[in-house]
Amino acid sequence: MTEQSARPTSRDVARAAGVSQATVSLVLGDKWRGRVSERTAGLVRDAAHALEYRPNLAARSLRLGTTRTALLVVPALTNEFFARVYTGAAEVAAEHGFGVVLYPSPAGVGPARDPFASARAALDGVIASSMATEALDAIRGADLPLVMLDSDPEAPGAAARVNLDIADGIRQVTEHLLALGHRRLLHLASAIPSWTFDIRATALAEAVRNVPDAVVRTVSAPLDVGAGREATERALSAPGPRPTALVCDDDILAAGACKAVRRLGLRVPEDISVTGFDDLALATAIEPELTTVSLPAEQVGERGMSALLAVLDGRRPEPGDLPVSLVVRASTAPPPRDA
């Protein structure tokens, strides 16, 4: 007997579970809800697991006209956040017999070209994280369902959206600093034009609007530790009262800001408090450890893949933004008394 013929078939699974082959197809194709009981679905999954059954995806794709493949487009592969988004998406995809192809857009900010000769023939749908819909024109031209993650909710073109409550994250940071007594804030903003960064600036301005003595200055820098350090050094060396707290758009910029503070002979947080955003591994690698906003990146990926599956199945995706939370560490403290 050859290796190919020794592999268990759907008929073997059906016999082991005591059900029909049609029921096996419904359960393993994730089409069983409302047609098969939970108990029966469990019997089929247990039988498939015990037999180490693997469906013939190539044959099923030809039969159904689908590839069970999703494309996840991200601005860059070097950011831990997007790696965690991929992990979450891939876990949900695997549970439903899907694969996920990870694809970065050129230079992290430019338009993403169609990575296949024909996206329509190679993919069932696209998930895009932290990108503008216009950057996806080449892929969207294939008329594939598109799920946008961490993107402008008002922009057209998406079949579904999954957003983090970014504005609330900035509100939590700002309220924390104001409660400590800070009134002179420096916003170290990302130079990348993106909804997710624009919303940070808007939320910060709104958070201090009703605090009469609060002042916010803004400087921008590319998402790089060195660029963040240089921009912070220039801002802290400028004439006028020195800021007592830095609100950074992400942890990478915050790491650069901490280096700048030390280079100027100052201390974090005794002289200047520093906050980040994302809660990357970097946040606890630097000293003092960084006060930052934790984002449930894996859950973003999970919700994004689930939304795409819902769209493909004609169901309505789960609504609502994902909550974020402030993690207070040692990089924030009350401002110095002479401030």
| The pairing of beta strand 245-248 with beta strand 325-327 | unpaired
Give the closest residue to 336 by CA, choosing from 236, 213, 255, 245: 245
How confident is the model over 281-302, as pLDDT tens digits? Answer: 999 999 999 999 999 999 999 9
- Residue 97 Ramachandran class (φ > 0 left, ψ -120 to 50 alpha, else beta): left
The most confident of the ranges 66-70, 116-120, 285-289 is 285-289
Type of residue found at 89: A
Q: Which residues, in sequence order, are bridge partners of residue 216?
A: 185
pTM, two decimal places = 0.79
pLDDT bucket at 154, cuts 50 / 70 / 90: confident
Which residue segments constitute the domains of the chain, with CATH numbers given?
3-55 (1.10.260), 65-164+297-323 (3.40.50.2300), 166-295 (3.40.50.2300)
**Share of residues in the chain with pLDDT > 70 (%):** 86
The alpha carbon torsion through 162, 165, 169, 170 (nearest 10 deg) reads: 100
Cα 325 to the center of its chain, rounded Å = 15
pLDDT at 4: 44
- Other CB atoms closer than 10 Å to residue 316's CB: what's the count? 9
| Side chain identity, residue 93 | A
Closest listed residue to residue 276, CA positions, set 209, 206, 129, 176: 176
Q: Using one digit for the tens of pLDDT, what is the confidence trace for 157-209?
A: 889 999 999 999 999 999 999 999 999 999 999 998 889 999 999 999 999 99
How far apart are the C-alpha atoms of 125 and 137, rounded to whole Å? 14
Asked if 293 and 277 count as a contact pair (C-beta separation under 8 A), the reply is yes
Model confidence at 121: pLDDT above 80: no
Region 256-265: mean pLDDT is: 98
Q: Judge if the upstream peptide bond of residue 239 is cis by omega within 30 degrees of 0.
A: no
Angstrom distance (rounded) from CA 179 to CA 177? 5
Q: CA 309 to CA 184: how far, in whole Å?
A: 47
Residue 119: name the closest of 134, 141, 135 by CA: 141
